[in-house]
Chains A and B, each alone.
Chain A
Amino acid sequence: MRKVAVIGVGNSKFGNRQDVNVTELAFEAVKPALEDAGLIPKDIEFVAVGSAGAGAWYEEALPAVIAAEYCGLTGAGLVRCEAACASGSAAVFTVYSAIASGQIDIGMALGLEKMREVDTLTVVELIGRAGYYLWEFHNFGMTFPAYYAMHATAHMAKYGTTEEDLALVAVKNHKYAALNPVAHFQKEITVDEALSSYPIAWPLKLYDCCPVTDGAAAVILASEEKVKELKIDTPVWIEGIGASSGTGNLSKRDSYVGLKSAVIAAQKAYKMAGVGPEDIEVATVHDCFTIAEILAYEDLGFCKKGEGPKLIREGQTEIGGKIPVNVDGGLKAKGHPIGATGCSMIYELTKQLREEAEKRQRQVPLKKYIALAHNVGGTGHYCYVTILRR
Protein backbone atom coordinates (compact mmCIF):
# COMPACT_ATOMS: atom_id res chain seq x y z
CA MET A 1 0.00 0.00 0.00
CA ARG A 2 1.19 3.52 -0.76
CA LYS A 3 1.57 6.22 1.88
CA VAL A 4 -1.14 8.87 1.92
CA ALA A 5 -0.99 12.41 3.33
CA VAL A 6 -3.42 15.20 4.12
CA ILE A 7 -2.27 18.15 1.99
CA GLY A 8 -5.16 20.59 2.33
CA VAL A 9 -8.04 21.25 4.72
CA GLY A 10 -10.99 23.64 4.90
CA ASN A 11 -13.83 24.12 7.38
CA SER A 12 -16.90 26.32 6.99
CA LYS A 13 -18.23 28.27 9.94
CA PHE A 14 -20.42 25.83 11.89
CA GLY A 15 -23.77 27.00 13.23
CA ASN A 16 -27.33 27.83 12.26
CA ARG A 17 -26.49 28.73 8.68
CA GLN A 18 -29.73 29.84 7.11
CA ASP A 19 -27.75 32.35 5.07
CA VAL A 20 -26.52 29.59 2.73
CA ASN A 21 -27.90 26.50 0.98
CA VAL A 22 -26.16 23.13 0.97
CA THR A 23 -23.95 23.77 -2.07
CA GLU A 24 -22.91 27.24 -0.92
CA LEU A 25 -21.96 25.72 2.41
CA ALA A 26 -19.82 23.10 0.62
CA PHE A 27 -18.02 25.90 -1.24
CA GLU A 28 -16.98 27.44 2.10
CA ALA A 29 -15.00 24.26 2.87
CA VAL A 30 -13.79 23.31 -0.62
CA LYS A 31 -12.29 26.71 -1.49
CA PRO A 32 -9.97 27.00 1.54
CA ALA A 33 -8.99 23.31 1.21
CA LEU A 34 -7.90 23.81 -2.42
CA GLU A 35 -6.08 27.02 -1.51
CA ASP A 36 -4.39 25.27 1.40
CA ALA A 37 -3.13 22.50 -0.92
CA GLY A 38 -2.25 24.92 -3.71
CA LEU A 39 -4.48 23.06 -6.14
CA ILE A 40 -7.26 23.88 -8.60
CA PRO A 41 -10.51 21.87 -8.94
CA LYS A 42 -9.36 19.91 -11.99
CA ASP A 43 -6.46 18.43 -9.97
CA ILE A 44 -8.98 16.47 -7.89
CA GLU A 45 -9.42 13.00 -9.42
CA PHE A 46 -12.03 11.63 -7.03
CA VAL A 47 -14.47 13.15 -4.52
CA ALA A 48 -16.20 11.24 -1.71
CA VAL A 49 -18.97 13.18 0.01
CA GLY A 50 -20.00 12.28 3.55
CA SER A 51 -23.59 13.30 4.23
CA ALA A 52 -26.39 11.61 6.12
CA GLY A 53 -29.51 13.72 5.69
CA ALA A 54 -29.84 14.04 1.91
CA GLY A 55 -33.49 14.38 0.90
CA ALA A 56 -34.52 14.44 4.59
CA TRP A 57 -33.35 17.42 6.66
CA TYR A 58 -32.21 19.08 3.49
CA GLU A 59 -34.00 18.89 0.17
CA GLU A 60 -31.34 17.61 -2.19
CA ALA A 61 -31.14 13.85 -2.74
CA LEU A 62 -27.77 13.84 -4.54
CA PRO A 63 -25.56 16.22 -2.56
CA ALA A 64 -22.33 14.87 -4.06
CA VAL A 65 -23.50 15.72 -7.56
CA ILE A 66 -24.71 19.23 -6.84
CA ALA A 67 -21.85 20.13 -4.50
CA ALA A 68 -19.33 18.96 -7.14
CA GLU A 69 -21.18 21.00 -9.78
CA TYR A 70 -21.24 24.15 -7.62
CA CYS A 71 -17.54 23.81 -6.75
CA GLY A 72 -16.38 23.04 -10.30
CA LEU A 73 -15.42 19.46 -9.46
CA THR A 74 -17.76 17.75 -11.97
CA GLY A 75 -16.01 15.07 -13.96
CA ALA A 76 -14.02 13.70 -11.02
CA GLY A 77 -14.98 10.24 -9.80
CA LEU A 78 -17.79 10.76 -7.32
CA VAL A 79 -19.61 8.92 -4.54
CA ARG A 80 -21.63 9.69 -1.43
CA CYS A 81 -20.64 7.76 1.71
CA GLU A 82 -23.11 7.06 4.49
CA ALA A 83 -21.95 5.92 7.92
CA ALA A 84 -24.41 8.04 9.94
CA CYS A 85 -22.42 10.48 12.12
CA ALA A 86 -19.20 8.90 10.81
CA SER A 87 -20.02 9.57 7.14
CA GLY A 88 -17.17 12.10 6.94
CA SER A 89 -14.67 9.50 8.14
CA ALA A 90 -16.13 6.97 5.72
CA ALA A 91 -15.41 9.50 2.95
CA VAL A 92 -11.83 9.92 4.20
CA PHE A 93 -11.47 6.12 4.34
CA THR A 94 -12.74 5.83 0.75
CA VAL A 95 -10.34 8.44 -0.65
CA TYR A 96 -7.47 7.08 1.46
CA SER A 97 -8.07 3.58 0.05
CA ALA A 98 -8.27 4.84 -3.53
CA ILE A 99 -4.90 6.56 -3.17
CA ALA A 100 -3.21 3.82 -1.15
CA SER A 101 -4.22 1.23 -3.75
CA GLY A 102 -2.76 3.26 -6.59
CA GLN A 103 -6.13 3.94 -8.22
CA ILE A 104 -5.71 7.75 -7.95
CA ASP A 105 -3.10 10.26 -6.72
CA ILE A 106 -5.21 13.13 -5.41
CA GLY A 107 -8.72 13.00 -3.95
CA MET A 108 -11.05 14.98 -1.73
CA ALA A 109 -13.28 13.94 1.17
CA LEU A 110 -16.06 16.47 1.64
CA GLY A 111 -18.27 16.29 4.73
CA LEU A 112 -21.50 18.19 4.35
CA GLU A 113 -24.69 18.61 6.37
CA LYS A 114 -27.52 21.13 6.36
CA MET A 115 -29.70 20.22 9.34
CA ARG A 116 -31.52 23.44 10.14
CA GLU A 117 -33.96 23.62 7.25
CA VAL A 118 -36.53 21.67 9.30
CA ASP A 119 -37.66 22.11 12.91
CA THR A 120 -35.78 20.46 15.80
CA LEU A 121 -38.41 17.81 16.55
CA THR A 122 -38.30 16.63 12.94
CA VAL A 123 -34.51 16.31 13.27
CA VAL A 124 -34.99 14.41 16.55
CA GLU A 125 -37.40 12.10 14.67
CA LEU A 126 -35.14 11.56 11.66
CA ILE A 127 -32.09 10.77 13.81
CA GLY A 128 -34.22 8.59 16.11
CA ARG A 129 -35.30 6.52 13.11
CA ALA A 130 -31.60 5.91 12.36
CA GLY A 131 -31.12 2.93 14.62
CA TYR A 132 -33.46 0.11 13.74
CA TYR A 133 -36.69 1.82 12.70
CA LEU A 134 -38.93 -1.23 12.86
CA TRP A 135 -37.82 -2.60 16.23
CA GLU A 136 -36.75 0.42 18.24
CA PHE A 137 -38.44 3.49 16.77
CA HIS A 138 -41.83 2.48 15.35
CA ASN A 139 -43.40 1.55 18.68
CA PHE A 140 -40.96 3.05 21.14
CA GLY A 141 -39.90 6.43 19.75
CA MET A 142 -36.21 6.12 20.60
CA THR A 143 -34.11 9.25 20.09
CA PHE A 144 -30.34 9.67 19.91
CA PRO A 145 -30.09 11.46 23.22
CA ALA A 146 -32.01 8.44 24.60
CA TYR A 147 -29.61 5.88 23.13
CA TYR A 148 -26.67 7.63 24.78
CA ALA A 149 -28.69 8.21 27.95
CA MET A 150 -28.98 4.42 28.21
CA HIS A 151 -25.18 4.22 28.11
CA ALA A 152 -24.98 6.92 30.79
CA THR A 153 -27.43 5.04 33.01
CA ALA A 154 -25.42 1.83 32.66
CA HIS A 155 -22.07 3.57 33.25
CA MET A 156 -23.45 5.34 36.32
CA ALA A 157 -24.83 2.09 37.73
CA LYS A 158 -21.60 0.18 37.18
CA TYR A 159 -18.87 2.75 37.86
CA GLY A 160 -20.53 5.45 39.93
CA THR A 161 -20.19 8.07 37.18
CA THR A 162 -22.18 11.20 38.11
CA GLU A 163 -24.12 13.92 36.35
CA GLU A 164 -21.36 16.33 37.50
CA ASP A 165 -18.77 14.24 35.63
CA LEU A 166 -20.84 14.63 32.49
CA ALA A 167 -21.19 18.37 33.11
CA LEU A 168 -17.38 18.68 33.32
CA VAL A 169 -17.10 17.40 29.75
CA ALA A 170 -19.54 20.07 28.58
CA VAL A 171 -17.73 22.82 30.49
CA LYS A 172 -14.35 21.82 29.01
CA ASN A 173 -15.65 21.62 25.45
CA HIS A 174 -17.54 24.91 25.64
CA LYS A 175 -14.36 26.52 26.98
CA TYR A 176 -12.39 25.49 23.89
CA ALA A 177 -15.24 26.24 21.47
CA ALA A 178 -15.22 29.81 22.76
CA LEU A 179 -11.66 30.01 21.39
CA ASN A 180 -12.46 28.36 18.06
CA PRO A 181 -13.65 30.73 15.33
CA VAL A 182 -15.49 27.97 13.40
CA ALA A 183 -17.43 26.66 16.44
CA HIS A 184 -21.24 26.81 16.67
CA PHE A 185 -21.22 27.99 20.31
CA GLN A 186 -18.84 30.77 21.30
CA LYS A 187 -19.65 30.91 24.99
CA GLU A 188 -18.30 29.30 28.12
CA ILE A 189 -20.68 27.57 30.54
CA THR A 190 -20.46 26.58 34.21
CA VAL A 191 -21.09 23.24 35.91
CA ASP A 192 -24.18 24.72 37.59
CA GLU A 193 -25.60 25.93 34.30
CA ALA A 194 -25.03 22.49 32.80
CA LEU A 195 -26.64 20.70 35.76
CA SER A 196 -29.67 22.97 35.77
CA SER A 197 -30.29 22.85 32.00
CA TYR A 198 -33.55 21.17 31.01
CA PRO A 199 -33.78 17.37 30.76
CA ILE A 200 -33.78 15.89 27.23
CA ALA A 201 -33.54 12.14 27.91
CA TRP A 202 -32.84 11.39 31.56
CA PRO A 203 -30.07 11.53 32.79
CA LEU A 204 -28.95 13.71 29.85
CA LYS A 205 -29.80 17.41 29.84
CA LEU A 206 -29.55 20.14 27.20
CA TYR A 207 -25.87 20.82 27.92
CA ASP A 208 -25.06 17.12 27.62
CA CYS A 209 -26.14 17.22 23.96
CA CYS A 210 -24.48 18.40 20.79
CA PRO A 211 -26.61 20.98 18.99
CA VAL A 212 -28.26 20.70 15.58
CA THR A 213 -25.68 22.30 13.30
CA ASP A 214 -25.06 23.20 9.66
CA GLY A 215 -21.50 22.81 8.45
CA ALA A 216 -19.02 21.51 5.90
CA ALA A 217 -15.39 20.42 6.00
CA ALA A 218 -13.06 19.30 3.21
CA VAL A 219 -9.88 17.24 3.34
CA ILE A 220 -7.55 16.78 0.35
CA LEU A 221 -5.39 13.65 0.34
CA ALA A 222 -2.45 12.78 -1.91
CA SER A 223 0.03 9.99 -2.57
CA GLU A 224 3.65 10.27 -1.42
CA GLU A 225 4.76 10.84 -5.04
CA LYS A 226 2.37 13.79 -5.38
CA VAL A 227 3.43 15.22 -2.02
CA LYS A 228 7.02 15.32 -3.35
CA GLU A 229 6.03 16.60 -6.78
CA LEU A 230 3.90 19.39 -5.29
CA LYS A 231 6.61 20.19 -2.70
CA ILE A 232 4.12 20.16 0.20
CA ASP A 233 6.08 21.46 3.22
CA THR A 234 4.08 19.96 6.06
CA PRO A 235 2.25 16.86 4.89
CA VAL A 236 0.27 15.13 7.63
CA TRP A 237 0.43 11.37 7.06
CA ILE A 238 -2.42 8.97 7.62
CA GLU A 239 -0.60 6.30 9.62
CA GLY A 240 -3.54 4.13 10.56
CA ILE A 241 -7.25 3.76 9.87
CA GLY A 242 -9.48 1.23 11.59
CA ALA A 243 -13.18 0.65 10.99
CA SER A 244 -15.76 -1.53 12.70
CA SER A 245 -19.51 -1.74 13.31
CA GLY A 246 -22.21 -2.64 15.83
CA THR A 247 -25.76 -4.01 15.57
CA GLY A 248 -28.71 -1.81 14.64
CA ASN A 249 -30.74 -3.17 17.56
CA LEU A 250 -29.27 -1.76 20.76
CA SER A 251 -30.88 -4.76 22.48
CA LYS A 252 -28.37 -7.03 20.74
CA ARG A 253 -25.31 -5.39 22.30
CA ASP A 254 -23.34 -7.23 25.00
CA SER A 255 -23.02 -4.19 27.25
CA TYR A 256 -23.84 -0.50 27.50
CA VAL A 257 -20.74 0.76 29.30
CA GLY A 258 -18.69 1.13 26.12
CA LEU A 259 -18.84 0.83 22.35
CA LYS A 260 -17.29 -2.40 21.11
CA SER A 261 -17.01 -1.07 17.56
CA ALA A 262 -14.83 1.76 18.87
CA VAL A 263 -12.57 -0.64 20.76
CA ILE A 264 -12.09 -2.76 17.64
CA ALA A 265 -11.62 0.20 15.27
CA ALA A 266 -9.02 1.65 17.66
CA GLN A 267 -7.13 -1.66 17.92
CA LYS A 268 -6.95 -1.85 14.12
CA ALA A 269 -5.77 1.76 13.78
CA TYR A 270 -3.13 1.46 16.54
CA LYS A 271 -1.83 -1.76 15.00
CA MET A 272 -1.59 -0.29 11.52
CA ALA A 273 0.16 2.85 12.79
CA GLY A 274 2.43 0.88 15.12
CA VAL A 275 1.57 3.13 18.06
CA GLY A 276 -0.44 2.85 21.27
CA PRO A 277 -2.74 5.14 23.22
CA GLU A 278 0.26 6.46 25.21
CA ASP A 279 1.73 7.90 22.00
CA ILE A 280 -1.28 10.08 21.17
CA GLU A 281 -0.69 13.76 21.96
CA VAL A 282 -4.01 15.26 20.84
CA ALA A 283 -7.35 13.63 20.03
CA THR A 284 -10.74 14.52 18.66
CA VAL A 285 -13.35 12.10 19.97
CA HIS A 286 -17.02 11.66 19.18
CA ASP A 287 -18.69 13.56 22.04
CA CYS A 288 -22.15 13.82 20.48
CA PHE A 289 -23.28 13.51 24.11
CA THR A 290 -21.05 14.11 27.14
CA ILE A 291 -21.17 10.43 28.18
CA ALA A 292 -19.81 9.53 24.73
CA GLU A 293 -16.57 11.39 25.47
CA ILE A 294 -16.11 9.41 28.67
CA LEU A 295 -16.79 6.13 26.85
CA ALA A 296 -14.26 7.21 24.20
CA TYR A 297 -11.47 7.74 26.78
CA GLU A 298 -12.00 4.17 27.91
CA ASP A 299 -12.62 2.57 24.50
CA LEU A 300 -9.47 4.20 23.07
CA GLY A 301 -7.34 3.10 26.03
CA PHE A 302 -6.58 6.61 27.33
CA CYS A 303 -7.48 5.14 30.72
CA LYS A 304 -8.73 1.85 32.15
CA LYS A 305 -12.37 0.79 31.85
CA GLY A 306 -14.46 2.73 34.37
CA GLU A 307 -11.80 5.40 34.92
CA GLY A 308 -13.02 7.86 32.30
CA PRO A 309 -14.72 10.07 34.91
CA LYS A 310 -11.43 10.31 36.83
CA LEU A 311 -9.67 11.59 33.71
CA ILE A 312 -12.12 14.47 33.27
CA ARG A 313 -12.22 15.24 37.04
CA GLU A 314 -8.43 15.55 37.12
CA GLY A 315 -8.37 17.78 34.03
CA GLN A 316 -6.19 15.26 32.18
CA THR A 317 -7.99 15.85 28.89
CA GLU A 318 -7.38 19.61 28.86
CA ILE A 319 -4.34 21.29 27.30
CA GLY A 320 -1.50 20.66 29.76
CA GLY A 321 -3.03 17.34 30.85
CA LYS A 322 -2.05 13.82 29.89
CA ILE A 323 -4.06 13.72 26.67
CA PRO A 324 -5.87 16.85 25.44
CA VAL A 325 -9.23 15.87 23.92
CA ASN A 326 -11.58 17.96 21.79
CA VAL A 327 -9.73 21.23 22.16
CA ASP A 328 -11.73 22.45 19.14
CA GLY A 329 -14.89 22.36 21.28
CA GLY A 330 -15.88 18.86 20.20
CA LEU A 331 -19.25 17.95 18.77
CA LYS A 332 -20.74 19.25 21.99
CA ALA A 333 -19.86 22.89 21.38
CA LYS A 334 -18.21 23.17 17.97
CA GLY A 335 -21.37 21.51 16.68
CA HIS A 336 -22.16 18.24 14.93
CA PRO A 337 -23.20 18.63 11.30
CA ILE A 338 -23.53 14.83 11.04
CA GLY A 339 -21.73 14.06 7.75
CA ALA A 340 -19.20 16.89 8.15
CA THR A 341 -17.90 15.89 11.57
CA GLY A 342 -15.37 13.25 10.46
CA CYS A 343 -13.74 15.66 7.99
CA SER A 344 -13.84 18.47 10.53
CA MET A 345 -11.93 16.25 12.99
CA ILE A 346 -9.19 15.78 10.38
CA TYR A 347 -9.25 19.54 9.71
CA GLU A 348 -8.64 20.26 13.40
CA LEU A 349 -5.93 17.63 13.87
CA THR A 350 -4.11 18.73 10.70
CA LYS A 351 -4.07 22.30 12.03
CA GLN A 352 -2.86 21.04 15.41
CA LEU A 353 -0.09 18.90 13.91
CA ARG A 354 1.06 21.82 11.74
CA GLU A 355 0.97 24.00 14.88
CA GLU A 356 -1.49 26.33 13.19
CA ALA A 357 -4.43 26.07 15.62
CA GLU A 358 -6.44 29.24 15.93
CA LYS A 359 -6.38 30.82 18.45
CA ARG A 360 -2.94 30.20 19.95
CA GLN A 361 -4.32 29.21 23.38
CA ARG A 362 -5.82 26.16 21.64
CA GLN A 363 -2.50 24.89 20.28
CA VAL A 364 -1.46 21.65 22.00
CA PRO A 365 2.30 21.36 22.68
CA LEU A 366 3.67 18.43 20.64
CA LYS A 367 6.75 16.22 20.77
CA LYS A 368 5.89 13.13 18.77
CA TYR A 369 3.36 14.85 16.47
CA ILE A 370 0.84 12.01 16.65
CA ALA A 371 -2.93 12.63 16.72
CA LEU A 372 -6.07 10.49 16.75
CA ALA A 373 -9.61 11.02 15.45
CA HIS A 374 -12.44 8.84 16.80
CA ASN A 375 -15.68 9.17 14.84
CA VAL A 376 -18.72 7.12 15.82
CA GLY A 377 -21.75 6.66 13.56
CA GLY A 378 -24.99 6.21 15.44
CA THR A 379 -24.50 4.61 18.86
CA GLY A 380 -21.50 2.57 17.75
CA HIS A 381 -23.35 1.36 14.67
CA TYR A 382 -20.27 2.44 12.75
CA CYS A 383 -16.86 3.51 14.04
CA TYR A 384 -13.76 4.89 12.35
CA VAL A 385 -10.49 5.66 14.12
CA THR A 386 -7.81 7.54 12.17
CA ILE A 387 -4.24 8.16 13.34
CA LEU A 388 -2.27 11.06 11.88
CA ARG A 389 1.41 11.96 12.16
CA ARG A 390 3.35 14.94 10.90
Chain B
Amino acid sequence: MEVGFPTIKSRKLTIVNHIPISKTLKFWEGLKEGKIYTTKCKKCGTIFFPPAGDCSKCYSSDMEWIELSNEAEIETFTHILVRPATFQHYEPYTVAIGRLKEGVKVLAWLTGAKLSEIKVGMKVKLVAKVTPEGEPTYEFQPI
Protein backbone atom coordinates (compact mmCIF):
# COMPACT_ATOMS: atom_id res chain seq x y z
CA MET B 1 0.00 0.00 0.00
CA GLU B 2 1.10 3.50 -0.80
CA VAL B 3 1.97 5.60 2.20
CA GLY B 4 2.01 9.34 2.25
CA PHE B 5 -1.58 10.10 3.17
CA PRO B 6 -2.63 10.03 6.84
CA THR B 7 -4.87 7.07 7.76
CA ILE B 8 -6.39 5.41 10.84
CA LYS B 9 -6.01 1.63 11.23
CA SER B 10 -9.28 -0.26 11.73
CA ARG B 11 -9.50 -2.74 14.63
CA LYS B 12 -8.14 -6.14 13.71
CA LEU B 13 -10.75 -8.89 13.37
CA THR B 14 -10.08 -12.55 12.60
CA ILE B 15 -13.00 -14.43 11.05
CA VAL B 16 -13.19 -18.21 10.79
CA ASN B 17 -16.39 -19.76 9.42
CA HIS B 18 -17.58 -23.23 10.43
CA ILE B 19 -19.03 -24.63 7.21
CA PRO B 20 -21.61 -27.43 7.67
CA ILE B 21 -20.78 -30.62 5.74
CA SER B 22 -23.38 -33.05 7.13
CA LYS B 23 -25.05 -33.57 3.74
CA THR B 24 -21.72 -34.22 1.96
CA LEU B 25 -19.93 -36.00 4.82
CA LYS B 26 -19.40 -39.23 2.88
CA PHE B 27 -17.46 -37.24 0.28
CA TRP B 28 -15.10 -35.69 2.84
CA GLU B 29 -14.71 -38.98 4.74
CA GLY B 30 -14.14 -40.86 1.47
CA LEU B 31 -11.23 -38.61 0.55
CA LYS B 32 -9.42 -39.77 3.70
CA GLU B 33 -9.79 -43.37 2.45
CA GLY B 34 -8.53 -42.46 -1.02
CA LYS B 35 -11.97 -42.62 -2.63
CA ILE B 36 -13.92 -39.95 -4.49
CA TYR B 37 -17.64 -40.26 -3.97
CA THR B 38 -20.34 -38.04 -5.35
CA THR B 39 -24.12 -37.95 -5.42
CA LYS B 40 -26.62 -39.17 -8.00
CA CYS B 41 -30.31 -38.26 -7.93
CA LYS B 42 -32.36 -41.44 -7.51
CA LYS B 43 -35.37 -39.83 -9.16
CA CYS B 44 -33.93 -38.25 -12.33
CA GLY B 45 -30.50 -39.87 -12.50
CA THR B 46 -28.46 -36.65 -12.59
CA ILE B 47 -24.91 -37.02 -11.30
CA PHE B 48 -23.56 -34.04 -9.40
CA PHE B 49 -20.09 -32.77 -8.81
CA PRO B 50 -19.56 -31.21 -6.37
CA PRO B 51 -21.82 -33.62 -4.43
CA ALA B 52 -25.18 -32.15 -3.44
CA GLY B 53 -27.82 -33.21 -0.91
CA ASP B 54 -30.63 -31.87 -3.08
CA CYS B 55 -31.31 -32.13 -6.81
CA SER B 56 -31.41 -28.80 -8.66
CA LYS B 57 -32.95 -30.51 -11.71
CA CYS B 58 -36.02 -32.26 -10.27
CA TYR B 59 -35.98 -30.97 -6.68
CA SER B 60 -35.85 -34.43 -5.12
CA SER B 61 -33.69 -34.87 -2.00
CA ASP B 62 -33.44 -38.62 -2.47
CA MET B 63 -29.79 -39.00 -3.47
CA GLU B 64 -27.43 -41.96 -3.60
CA TRP B 65 -23.66 -42.02 -3.28
CA ILE B 66 -21.59 -43.33 -6.19
CA GLU B 67 -17.84 -43.70 -6.52
CA LEU B 68 -16.34 -41.72 -9.41
CA SER B 69 -13.94 -43.26 -11.89
CA ASN B 70 -10.56 -41.57 -11.75
CA GLU B 71 -10.00 -41.00 -15.46
CA ALA B 72 -10.20 -37.41 -16.60
CA GLU B 73 -9.35 -35.26 -19.61
CA ILE B 74 -8.06 -31.71 -19.13
CA GLU B 75 -10.42 -29.06 -20.55
CA THR B 76 -8.41 -26.06 -19.41
CA PHE B 77 -5.77 -25.02 -16.87
CA THR B 78 -3.68 -22.18 -15.46
CA HIS B 79 -0.59 -21.78 -13.33
CA ILE B 80 -1.04 -19.36 -10.42
CA LEU B 81 1.99 -17.30 -9.47
CA VAL B 82 0.39 -14.36 -7.65
CA ARG B 83 -1.27 -16.27 -4.83
CA PRO B 84 -3.94 -15.19 -2.32
CA ALA B 85 -2.82 -14.05 1.14
CA THR B 86 -3.67 -17.42 2.76
CA PHE B 87 -1.83 -19.39 0.03
CA GLN B 88 1.51 -17.63 0.45
CA HIS B 89 3.14 -20.68 2.06
CA TYR B 90 2.60 -22.75 -1.11
CA GLU B 91 4.82 -22.69 -4.17
CA PRO B 92 3.06 -21.48 -7.35
CA TYR B 93 0.48 -24.11 -8.29
CA THR B 94 -1.34 -25.38 -11.38
CA VAL B 95 -5.13 -25.64 -11.39
CA ALA B 96 -7.03 -27.60 -14.03
CA ILE B 97 -10.59 -28.45 -14.93
CA GLY B 98 -10.97 -32.06 -16.00
CA ARG B 99 -13.95 -33.90 -17.44
CA LEU B 100 -14.56 -37.35 -15.94
CA LYS B 101 -15.96 -40.36 -17.77
CA GLU B 102 -19.28 -39.83 -15.96
CA GLY B 103 -19.64 -36.43 -17.66
CA VAL B 104 -19.14 -34.29 -14.58
CA LYS B 105 -16.21 -31.90 -14.37
CA VAL B 106 -13.85 -31.24 -11.47
CA LEU B 107 -11.63 -28.26 -10.68
CA ALA B 108 -8.50 -29.21 -8.75
CA TRP B 109 -4.73 -28.80 -8.58
CA LEU B 110 -2.70 -30.66 -11.15
CA THR B 111 0.54 -31.80 -9.57
CA GLY B 112 3.61 -33.64 -10.81
CA ALA B 113 3.64 -32.14 -14.33
CA LYS B 114 5.75 -29.37 -15.84
CA LEU B 115 3.70 -26.43 -17.12
CA SER B 116 5.20 -26.82 -20.61
CA GLU B 117 4.03 -30.45 -20.73
CA ILE B 118 0.40 -29.78 -19.87
CA LYS B 119 -1.99 -29.61 -22.80
CA VAL B 120 -5.74 -29.22 -23.25
CA GLY B 121 -7.03 -32.73 -23.98
CA MET B 122 -4.36 -34.44 -21.86
CA LYS B 123 -5.45 -37.56 -19.94
CA VAL B 124 -4.94 -37.41 -16.18
CA LYS B 125 -6.12 -39.25 -13.09
CA LEU B 126 -8.06 -37.79 -10.18
CA VAL B 127 -6.61 -38.78 -6.81
CA ALA B 128 -7.98 -38.30 -3.28
CA LYS B 129 -5.47 -37.29 -0.63
CA VAL B 130 -4.91 -35.67 2.72
CA THR B 131 -2.75 -32.53 2.88
CA PRO B 132 0.23 -32.30 5.26
CA GLU B 133 -2.04 -30.10 7.43
CA GLY B 134 -4.51 -33.03 7.63
CA GLU B 135 -7.15 -31.52 5.32
CA PRO B 136 -8.89 -33.92 2.91
CA THR B 137 -8.55 -32.86 -0.75
CA TYR B 138 -8.18 -34.23 -4.29
CA GLU B 139 -5.90 -33.49 -7.22
CA PHE B 140 -5.14 -34.42 -10.79
CA GLN B 141 -1.92 -36.28 -11.59
CA PRO B 142 -0.39 -37.24 -14.93
CA ILE B 143 -0.94 -40.89 -15.91
Interface residues of A (CB under 8 A from B): 16, 18-19, 59, 116-119, 121-122, 124-125, 128-129, 134-137, 139-143, 145-146, 149-151, 153-154, 157-158, 198-204, 249-252, 256
Shortest distance from the beta carbon of A99 to any chain B beta carbon, whole Å: 34
B85 contacts across to A, CB distance below 8 A: 119, 121-122, 124-125
Which residues of A have CB within 8 Å of B90?
141
How many residue pairs bridge A and B at CB < 8 Å?
A: 118
A145→B81 CA distance, assembly (Å) = 10
B120-A154 in contact (CB<8A) = yes
**B44 at interface by CB-CB < 8 Å:** no
Q: Given A134-B19, A249-B107, is A153 in contact with B76 using a C-beta cutoff of 8 Å?
A: yes
B137 within 8 A of partner (CB): yes
User: Is the Cβ of B87 less than 8 Å from the Cβ of A141?
Assistant: yes
Q: Is B63 an interface residue (CB 8 A)?
A: no
Whether a CB of chain A sits under 8 angstroms from the CB of B68 is no
B120 and A157 contacting across the interface, CB-CB below 8 Å: yes
Bound CA–CA A135/B106 (angstroms):
9
**Whole-angstrom CA separation of A389 from B80 in the bound complex:** 42
Q: A116-B1, A140-B95 are in contact. Are A251 and B120 (CB under 8 A)?
A: no
B86's partner among A125, A134, A202, A204 (CB-CB below 8 A) is: A125
Among B3-58, those with CB < 8 Å from A are 4-5, 7, 10, 19, 49-50
Query: Are A249's CB and B83's CB within 8 A?
Result: no
List residues of chain B with CB within 8 A of the CB of A250: 97, 107
In-complex Cβ contact of A142 among B50, B95, B104, B106 (8 A): B95
* Cβ–Cβ contact B76 & A201, under 8 A: no
Provide the residues of chain B in CB contact with A19, threshold 8 Å.
5
Please, how many angstroms separate the alpha-carbon atoms of A233 and B81 in the complex? 52
Q: Are B81 and A121 in contact (CB under 8 A)?
A: no
Contact present for B107 and A202 (CB under 8 Å): no
Assuming the contacts A18-B2, A116-B1, A128-B84, asked whether A256 and B107 have C-beta atoms less than 8 A apart, the reply is no
- Alpha-carbon gap, A119 to B9, bound state (A): 13
Chain B residues closer than 8 Å to A146, beta-carbon distance: 78, 80, 95
Asked if B107 contacts A201 (CB within 8 A), the reply is no
- B residues less than 8 Å from A139 (CB atoms): 108-109, 131, 135, 137-138
Distance between A308 CB and nearest chain B CB, rounded to angstroms: 17
Does B79 sit at the interface, judged by CB under 8 A?
yes
Within the complex, the shortest CB–CB distance from B101 to chain A, in Å, comes to: 15
Nearest to A255 among chain B residues (CB) is: B75
> Cα distance A182–B41 when bound, in Å?
53
Who on chain A is nearest to B48 by CB?
A252
Interface contact B82-A201, CB-CB below 8 Å: yes
Which residues of A sit under 8 angstroms from B83, Cβ to Cβ? 121, 124, 141, 143
Give chain B residues whose Cβ lies under 8 Å from the Cβ of A200. 81-82
Identify which of B1, B79, B106 contacts A202 (C-beta below 8 A): B79
- CB contacts (< 8 Å) of B7 on chain A: these are 18, 117
CB-CB nearest in chain A for B137: A139
Q: Say if the beta carbon of B65 comes within 8 Å of chain A.
A: no
A77 to B82, CA, bound (A): 41
Q: Are B79 and A154 in contact (CB under 8 A)?
A: no
Q: Which of B1, B75, B138 is close to A256, meaning CB atoms less than 8 Å apart?
A: B75
Collect the chain B residues with CB atoms within 8 Å of residue A143's CB.
Answer: 80, 82-84
13 CB contacts below 8 A, A to B, read: A18-B5, A124-B84, A135-B107, A139-B109, A139-B138, A141-B80, A149-B78, A150-B76, A157-B120, A157-B121, A158-B120, A204-B78, A250-B107
B90 CB to closest chain A CB (Å) equals 7
A140 to B95 CA separation, bound complex (whole angstroms): 7
Query: Do B84 and A251 have beta carbons less than 8 Å apart?
Result: no
Q: Which residues of A contact B10 (CB under 8 A)?
A: 59
Residues of A near B137 (CB, < 8 A) are 139
Per-position binary interface string of chain B over residues 114-130, scored 1 when its CB falls under 8 Å from any chain A CB and 0 otherwise: 01000111000000000
How far apart are the CA atoms of A243 and B87 in the complex, in Å? 34
